[in-house]
Amino acid sequence: MQFHLNGFEPGDPEIRPDRSRRPAGSPLPSKTDVLIVGCGSAGLTLAAQMSAFDDIDTVIIERKPGPMQRGQADGVSCRSMEMFAAFGFAHRVCNEAYWVNETTFWKPDPQSPQHIIRTGRIQDVEDGLSEMPHVILNQARVHDMYLDVMARSATRLVPDYSRQITSIDLGDDADYPVTATIRREDPGHEGEIETIRARYVVGCDGARSDVRKSIGLELKGDSANKAWGVMDVLAVTDFPDIRQKTLIQSDTGGTLLIIPREGGYMARIYVEMETLGEGERVRNRNITEQDLIRAAQQIFRPYDFQVKDIVWWSVYEIGQRLTDRFDNLQDGETGTGHPRIFIAGDACHTHSPKAGQGMNVSMGDSFNLGWKLASVLRGRSDASLLRSYSEERQEVARDLIAFDQEWARIISERNRDGDAADTPKFQQYFVQHGRYTAGVSVRYGPSNLTGEGQHQDLARGFEIGMRFHSAPVVRLADGKPMHLGHVVKADTRWRLFAFADAAPPDDETSRLAALGRFLETDPASPLRRHTPQGADPDSVIDCRAVLQQGFRETDITSLPPLF
């Protein structure tokens, strides 16, 4: 038992009071605020965000009969882990996942090119880049944790499975302009048609997205005519780095990537296969799992590699594709119109899985869109805010495509380094782009949300347009060590962090005290302008002060009341 926000109640404090308006398993409502199509990583990230708001009606549908059991994505970047902290389950991922602490690199032995030797070993994530690790965890487990967030939320949001979108139409209705027609495919209801009207529809329904097709967009790009195999295996081997993330570039057998799996036994093996002919599809080659094993064994020489079990395997073609926009606005509307239909994740960008960015960028799409939808629907922001989603995230996707094209090219190059002591090009590229693969290099350009940078010198450590870099602090009220970034939750509130000057906060020269007076009393204060009458002072903008003084040297009563 503990004191909760709204009274003294027993039970798990993570389970919010039930405010749901629709029983689980009931037919779809006739209308909703947000309709999410697809229960992949992008869809569940968005659903978990929206589930926190009992004043917003959300429906999420999925054509498959139930939750994902075995996912294909597994790499979780540092930035995604920071996002999981905002949802409250980063600690669970840390406990279950494989931590990528080191990465090793191998290339042909100059003395015996048919064999490989280690050429480098580096720390996977540079010190100070994030408080969170780079980890490996099956995509299905990440989905389970999102579903837990939804089930514990005030809305008790659950997906509606076995439902297939058949059409989406955008009409003139001011309140619910999007009409979706859905066919049920669950036992006892096969073929039944449901119609739902929505304020907003978000397509998170993969590379063959029906939502994307409904707004006339297509994935554009090229194939590199390269086939790769991937398999999750239980193997017996004398290769010394089987429990390290490892990139091997052989002399004639191609390239291989090892990703150790959570649990301590399995490993995911990406292995380069054959070059495809112009216009040829990988399915025409009839590649089998035994072909993958033989290709891997050739690359591992002189080490033995015996596969005892294959949990999952697949063969894919390398290709990068991107849509022109991530919403339904046409070219002439981008500066004036308000989008009603969005796409996220694989529905708008696809690439090869070796970069380890697909699930991470997809979740980043939805995380960007979710708070904006909630802010608009709750009346806190104008609908023009929604235009920033496509503007910001398409640029991120372009960078992803460019990175993946170059990375795929470099790791498929045959080794041309003459000396084993030289640092191979693929190792150099990996090190140079460490911040990108950690997910912390995204920078949004100047917009209505992001400043131009003329005042960047006031806070050089926090680059405008980039994610808020956390740091260890001590909470003044109780002396608790914590991370500054972890006070930020996925609740749509704005945050104002005031980094105080050296003067004591109760000194007449304190700039923090002056800021506190301005925020509390000045008519120009954003708190005065945007906080509804009678609402809690931090209901819209949450203000935090970071002091230079030690917590034992500061009396909490000396702080401005707002902080």
Residue-wise pLDDT for 284-342, tens only, equals: 678 899 999 999 999 999 999 999 999 999 988 878 999 999 999 987 676 678 999 99
Locate the DSSP E strands across 74-213: 75-76, 98-99, 102-109, 112-123, 135-136, 163-170, 178-184, 193-203
The amino acid that residue 195 corresponds to is: T
- Greater confidence, 424 or 1? 424
Mean pLDDT for 508-521 is 96
pLDDT for 253 beyond 80: yes
User: Hunting for tokens 């999952």 — which residue is that?
Assistant: 312
Q: In this structure, how many other beta carbons lie within 10 angstroms of the beta carbon of residue 223?
A: 16
pLDDT of residue 22: 86
The amino acid that residue 546 corresponds to is: V
pLDDT tens-digit profile of 67-99?
A: 998 888 899 999 999 999 999 999 999 999 999
User: Hunting for tokens 């509307």 — which residue is that?
Assistant: 333
The amino acid that residue 54 corresponds to is: D
Q: Look at residues 465, 487, 492, 488 and name the one whose alpha carbon lies nearest to residue 380.
A: 492
Q: For residues 152 and 461, what is the distance between their CA atoms, to the nearest angstrom?
A: 37
pLDDT of residue 411: 79
Helices 139-152, 41-50: axis angle to 10 degrees equals 20
Tokens of 401: 């495509």
Q: In this structure, how many other beta carbons lie within 10 angstroms of the beta carbon of residue 225?
A: 16
**494-499 and 541-546: which strand pairing?**
parallel
Q: Are 237 and 301 in contact (CB under 8 A)?
A: no
Q: What is the DSSP string of 193-206?
A: EEEEEEEEEEE---
Contacts of 520 (CB under 8 A, 6+ apart): 527, 528, 560, 561, 562
Using CB atoms within 10 Å of the CB of residue 256, give its burial: 0 to 12 exposed, 13 to 18 middle, 19+ buried. Answer: buried
pLDDT of residue 5: 63
Which are the catalytic amino acids?
74, 261, 270, 353
Cα Rg for the chain, rounded, in angstroms?
26
290: alpha, beta or left? (left if phi > 0; alpha if psi -120 to 50): alpha
pLDDT tens-digit profile of 23-69?
A: 877 899 999 999 999 999 999 999 999 999 999 999 999 999 999 98
pLDDT for 557 beyond 90: yes
Confidence category of residue 369, pLDDT binned at 50, 70, 90: very high
Q: Look at residues 211, 158, 163 and name the one whose alpha carbon lies nearest to residue 64.
A: 163
The amino acid that residue 33 corresponds to is: D
pLDDT tens-digit profile of 185-213?
A: 999 999 999 999 999 999 999 999 999 99
Q: For residues 360 and 376, what is the distance between their CA atoms, to the nearest angstrom?
A: 25
Q: For residues 68 and 106, what is the distance between their CA atoms, to the nearest angstrom?
A: 35
Q: For residues 182 and 185, what is the distance between their CA atoms, to the nearest angstrom?
A: 10
Q: Are 35 and 59 in contact (CB under 8 A)?
A: yes
Residues composing the chain: 563
Among residues of the chain, what percentage have pLDDT more than 90?
A: 78
Tokens of 151: 């089930």
The mean predicted confidence, pLDDT, of the chain is 92
Q: What is the DSSP string of 222-283?
A: EEEEEEEEEEEEEEEE--TTTTSEEEEE-SSS-EEEEEEPTTSS-EEEEEEEEEPPTT--GG
pLDDT for 418 beyond 50: no
Mean pLDDT for 525-543 is 94
Q: For residues 282 and 227, what is the distance between their CA atoms, to the nearest angstrom?
A: 6
Tokens of 9: 């109640």
CA quadruple 34, 39, 43, 45: dihedral, nearest 10: 110
206: alpha, beta or left? (left if phi > 0; alpha if psi -120 to 50): left
Largest Cα span, the chain: 78
The amino acid that residue 407 corresponds to is: W
pLDDT of residue 29: 97
List C-alpha distances in Å: 245 to 44, 250, 384, 439.
Answer: 28, 16, 44, 18
Mean pLDDT for 256-279 is 89
Q: For residues 420 and 411, what is the distance between their CA atoms, to the nearest angstrom?
A: 17
pLDDT of residue 277: 66
pLDDT tens-digit profile of 461-505?
A: 899 999 999 999 999 999 999 999 999 988 989 999 999 999 999
Tokens of 30: 């006739």
Q: For residues 178 and 172, what is the distance between their CA atoms, to the nearest angstrom?
A: 9
Q: Look up residue 85 and give its DSSP letter.
A: H
Q: Please give the domain boundaries of the chain with CATH numbers for all domains.
A: 456-558 (3.40.30.20)
Give the lowest-confidence range in 176-180, 344-348, 349-353, 518-522: 349-353
Contacts of 326 (CB under 8 A, 6+ apart): 342, 343, 344, 348, 365, 389, 390, 393, 394
Read off the pTM.
0.94
Q: Which helix (H) or strand (E) holds 33?
A: strand 31-37
